[in-house]
Amino acid sequence: MEFTKRQQEIINTAIELIADKGIQELTIKNLSQKIGIAESAIYRHFKSKLDILLGILSLFRENKEHMNRQLTEMEATATDKLRHMLLKRFAYFAANRAVAAVIFSEELFRNDHRLSEQVYQIMQDNQQVIIGIITAGQQADEFRDDVSAKEMSFMITGALRLIVTQWRIAEYTFDLEQEGKRLWATIETLVKK
């Protein structure tokens, strides 16, 4: 899971490429051109294009795990944690459009089992964190418990994904963090006891 400077450069450039114009734009040619090296040079650093995609996912997962660890260790009410987590995520996507573009496009990763497995894991991990927070919130009597933590987290995840998707389709023409705050208000109203 450790990447060299060049490997990171390649991965990041690949992410940008995908974010910009979709997976079809991620070709070795475009990639190498954007970096400024020869096509064949790419193969010094990654065995194949598939490995670059795996690299993207692994980088993303690492990042998310870091975020989640921070969150778990945080001392705060469940409400604060949940808000914190969602707003942080929106901020992250707003600052890293490319990642947003890549991570919610399961389609891109359908060709290979290793890829779809990774995407699935990332989704699961994420859900687990939210479920954890909500369960805690229910036990602390902050959140309603007539809906299971799992179902609740499902609704939240769905909304999160949809807002990011719409933001992408709208070509980033609205303020994601702003809309994210509005969404949080809704979610808060819905989950609080």
Partner DNA sequence: GATGAATGAGAATTCATTCAT
Partner DNA sequence: AATGAATGAATTCTCATTCAT
Query: Where on the chain is the footprint of its own copies (CB under 8 A)?
Result: 21-24, 105-108, 110-111, 116, 119-120, 123, 146-148, 151-152, 154-155, 157-163, 165-166, 168-169, 182-183, 186-187, 189-190
The dihedrals phi and psi of 71, each to the nearest 5 degrees, come to -60, -45
State how far the Cα of 119 lies from the Cα of 125, in Å rounded to an integer.
10
Residue 24 found at the interface with DNA (CB under 7 A): yes
- CB 74, min distance to its own copies, A: 25
Q: Which does 41 bind (CB under 5 to 8 A by kind): its own copies, DNA, none?
A: DNA
d(CA 35, CA 39): 10
Alpha carbons 105 and 15: distance in angstroms, whole number: 12
Q: Does the protein bind DNA through residue 44 (CB under 7 A)? A: yes
Q: Which two tokens stand for residue 40?
A: 């064949």
Q: Name the minimum Å distance from CB 8 to DNA.
A: 12
Contact flag: residue 48 with DNA (CB under 7 A): yes
Please state, in angstroms and rounded to a whole number, the distance separating the CA atoms of residues 144 and 187.
Answer: 12
Residue 68 in contact with DNA, rule: CB under 7 A: no
The smaller minimum CB distance to DNA, of residues 43 and 154, is found at 43
Closer to its own copies by CB, 65 or 106: give it.
106
Phi, psi (5° rounding) for residue 141?
65, 20
Nearer to DNA, 109 or 184 (CB): 109
Q: Is there binding between residue 34 and DNA (CB under 7 A)?
A: no
Is 15 one of the binding residues for DNA (CB under 7 A)?
A: no
Helices (H), the chain: 5-21, 28-35, 39-45, 49-73, 78-95, 97-103, 113-139, 149-169, 176-191
The strand pairing partners of 192, in sequence order, are 143
The sign one gets for the Cα dihedral 69, 138, 144, 121 is: positive
Q: Of the ranges 36-44, 70-78, 90-98, 154-162, which one interacts with DNA (CB under 7 A)?
A: 36-44
Q: From the CB of 44, what's the least distance to DNA, in Å?
A: 5
- Strand, coil or helix: 143: strand
Can you give the binding site for DNA, defined by CB under 7 A? 4, 6, 24, 26-30, 32, 37-45, 47-50
